[in-house]
Amino acid sequence: MSEVWKPAVTVAAIIEREGRFLLVEEETSDGVCFNQPAGHLDPGETLLQAVSRETLEEAAHDFTPTELIGVYLSRYLSARTGAEVTYMRFAFCGDLGIAHDRPLDHGILRTVWMTYEELKQCQDRHRSPLVLKCVDDYLKGQRAPLSLLYTHPTAIGSMNG
């Protein structure tokens, strides 16, 4: 029997305040990169829970998603290892809440607020081309209601009751 191909599902928070975007500077297998607060969907959580959790872990802020910016499919090929992964990214905008006095997730060096121009100037240090694409779509006003997303209870709870 052949193995079934599956993309890795990720979430990202596109957070803008006074013309600047919240990014994290992180250590990756390909060097230090910039990304939005983002990460993988964990078992037993919804996409909305995942993006709130990732923002708290990586940027030490509460985040309440209010709209879906887009769903993005991309392939990543590690220059260092040659590993190939396809990602399906769900990008959200929303309300940034309070900051917490807590350590940032493993591998996150710092948070930084960048203007769009600063973000464009450092594209060679973006974790993926989706970093700028999501911001571009946000700035174009691309939005979808969260009601488009549905999570069946069996995805977040036990199927045995």
Q: Residue ranges per domain, the chain? A: 13-143
Query: Closest by alpha carbon to 68, among 54, 53, 56, 51?
Result: 51
Per-residue model confidence (pLDDT) at position 132: 98
Q: Is the pLDDT of residue 1 over 70?
A: no
**pLDDT tens digits along 44-82:** 999 999 999 999 999 999 999 999 999 999 998 877 677
- Residue 126 is given by DSSP the state B
Q: Which residue has the higher pLDDT, 56 or 83?
A: 56
CATH superfamily entry for domain 13-143? Nucleoside Triphosphate Pyrophosphohydrolase (3.90.79.10)
Per-residue model confidence (pLDDT) at position 101: 97
Residues 127-156 have a mean pLDDT of: 96
Distances (CA, A) of 54 to 26, 58, 129, 137, 155: 13, 6, 20, 21, 19
CA–CA dist 152, 130 (Å, integer) = 28
What lies within 8 Å, CB to CB, of 116 at 6+ separation is 19, 21, 135, 139
pTM score, two decimals?
0.92
Q: Is the pLDDT of residue 24 over 50?
A: yes
Residue 2 sits at φ, ψ, to 5 deg, of -80, 155
